[in-house]
Amino acid sequence: MTEWLTEREQASWRNFIMSVHDLMAALEADLAPHGITMGDYEVLVWLSEADEQRMRMCDLAGALQLSPSGLTRRLDGMVRQGWVQRASCSSDRRVAWAQLTDTGLQKMQQVAPAHVASVRRHVLDPLGPKGVDQLGALFGRVRDHLQALPTA
C-alpha cells in the first residue's frame, strides 16, 4: 500500500518491461527473413490447431487478442497471400469462417521450426527448465488475477 516501489520491485519491473520489447523485436527479426510476421504466423498456428482448421472471426480475434477490425485487415493480407480463405457459415449467416488453406498450412510447417528455435534461443534456453516453469507459473497468476476483474 506504499506510494512507491521498493528498489527491488522497481528493478524487477523494469527488467521485465524493457526485456519484453527487445524480446518481441528479436523474435520478429528472426521470423522476418522467412517472409512472415509474428502476427500472421500466430493466425496460422491457431487455425492449424482448430477443428477443420478453421475458426469464426470473432473467436480468432479473441484468441489473438485483436480487435474485430484488426483481424479483418490482418486476414485481408493473409487472403491476398493465399494462406487463408473466407467462407460463409450455413447455420449462422453472420459469421465468416477463416479457413486455413493448404498453402497456409505448408507455410506454417515451413516456418515453425525457425520460430521454435528462436523462442528456444532467446527464452527457453537462457531460463532453463526450472525458469520456464517459473515463467509459466508467474504469468498464470497474473493472468488469473486479470481475468478476475475484466472491467474494473
Partner DNA sequence: GGCGAATAGTTGCAGACACAACTATTTCGT
Partner DNA sequence: ACGAAATAGTTGTGTCTGCAACTATTCGCC
Contacts to DNA by CB under 7 A: 37, 39, 56-59, 61, 65-77, 86, 91-97
Pick from 30, 24, 25: which is nearest to 113 by CA? 30
- Residue 66 CB partners (closer than 8 Å, separation 6+): 74
CA atoms within 13 A on the CB side of 56: 10
What phi and psi, each to the nearest 5 degrees, are found at residue 16? -65, -55
Pick from 55, 110, 103: which is nearest to 79 by CA? 103
Tell me the torsion sign for CA atoms 27, 28, 33, 39: positive
- 7 near a second copy, rule: CB under 8 A: no
Tell me the site size for a second copy, rule CB under 8 A. Answer: 46
Among DNA, a second copy, none, what binds residue 5 when CB lies within 5 to 8 Å by partner kind? a second copy
Among a second copy, DNA, none, what binds residue 3 when CB lies within 5 to 8 Å by partner kind? a second copy
Q: Of 70 and 126, which has the nearer Cβ to DNA?
A: 70
Q: Of 32 and 116, which has the nearer Cβ to a second copy?
A: 116
- Contacting positions for a second copy (CB under 8 A): 3-5, 8-9, 11-13, 15-16, 18-23, 26, 65, 112-113, 116, 119-120, 122-127, 129, 131-136, 138-147
